[in-house]
Amino acid sequence: MNAQDRQARLDAAVAAAREAGGVALAHFRDLGALTVESKGVQDLVSEADRETERVIKGRLTADFPDDAFVGEETGADRVDGERGTWVVDPIDGTQPFLLGLPTWCVSIAYVADDDMQVGVVYNPVTDDLYTAQRGGGATLNGKPMHVREVSSLSEGLTGMGCSSSTTPQQLGHIAEGLRAADGMYHRCGSGALTLAYVAAGQLIGYIEMHINAWDCLAALLLIEEAGGRANPFLAEHGVTGGGRIIAGAPGVYDKLTSLLPA
């Protein structure tokens, strides 16, 4: 993928994230009017999620009709001869969103040539925009960002994710190992946003037993372009799968990996 095509998609992703973020924010300020459904244990969806995804999908597929699209709410929309794939979570952190908490975001990744090429994570509540393109570095609100330079889990907070796919025993094992290393955990309810915090140096790492591709691909590119390390999630799970994730500052990556249960 050439630099011009990559930049065009980054610009489009930023515009789509801001437009869709405005739609989601309007719903956030009027939560009592939302219709909410359950997709499973600790897994909710609202009309805000669906409307926000429609905005993103409409804009990106109009601008790039030869690209495929994978959205959390609408699933995979493949096209013949696709050049690449947009991978989108319209509101990552639906539960915080529905509870009136500010820790949710729009996540948009573009995958081509078997790699993440563009990543955008946008928090409409704080108006924080995290962006990255492969080989071009990562930014927070237009300024370069970098992971923390640390060598111990005691030197900062580690993000922990948890879904219904994680057993209490697995969660306890990770937390026990982290505290034994004099570390401390952080959880905000959005995997994409927590990973963005790692890229910005606000957290030192992130670990979760199971996360979906649309929740993390954009933010994983942020971390890699900010100088961090992550397991090869895309190679392992593709644009529609899910599995374990370990990401963080290079100095603590191996220590994060050691926290995983066997």
User: For the segment 99-148, what is each residue's pLDDT rounded down to a tens digit?
Assistant: 999 999 999 999 999 999 999 999 999 999 999 999 999 999 999 999 99
Q: Which pLDDT band, with edges at 50, 70 and 90, does 47 fall under?
A: confident
Residue 207, Cα to own-chain centre: how many angstroms?
A: 13
- Residue 79's alpha-carbon distances to 5, 13, 85, 195, in angstroms, are 18, 19, 10, 30
Please name the fold of domain 3-144. Answer: Fructose-1,6-Bisphosphatase; Chain A, domain 1 (3.30.540)
Q: Tokens 């699933």, residue?
A: 75
Q: What is the CATH topology of the domain spanning 153-257?
A: D-Maltodextrin-Binding Protein; domain 2 (3.40.190)
Torsion angle defined by CA atoms of residues 214, 126, 97 and 41, in that order, rounded to the nearest 10 degrees: 40
Confidence of residue 81 (pLDDT cuts 50, 70, 90): low
Is the predicted pLDDT of residue 35 greater than 80, yes or no? no
Query: What are the structure tokens assigned to 252, written together?
Result: 């603590």
Q: What pLDDT score was predicted for residue 41?
A: 45
The mean of the pLDDT values for the chain is 92
pLDDT tens-digit readout, 119-133? 999 999 999 999 999
What is the structure's pLDDT at 126? 97
pTM of structure: 0.93
Residue spans per domain, the chain? 3-144, 153-257
Distance of alpha carbon 152 from alpha carbon 246, whole angstroms: 15
Q: Rounded distance, CA 258 to CA 255, Å?
A: 5
In the chain, what percentage of residues exceed pLDDT 90?
Answer: 82
Q: What is the pLDDT of residue 38?
A: 61
Q: In this model, does residue 74 exceed pLDDT 50? A: yes
d(CA 166, CA 44): 17
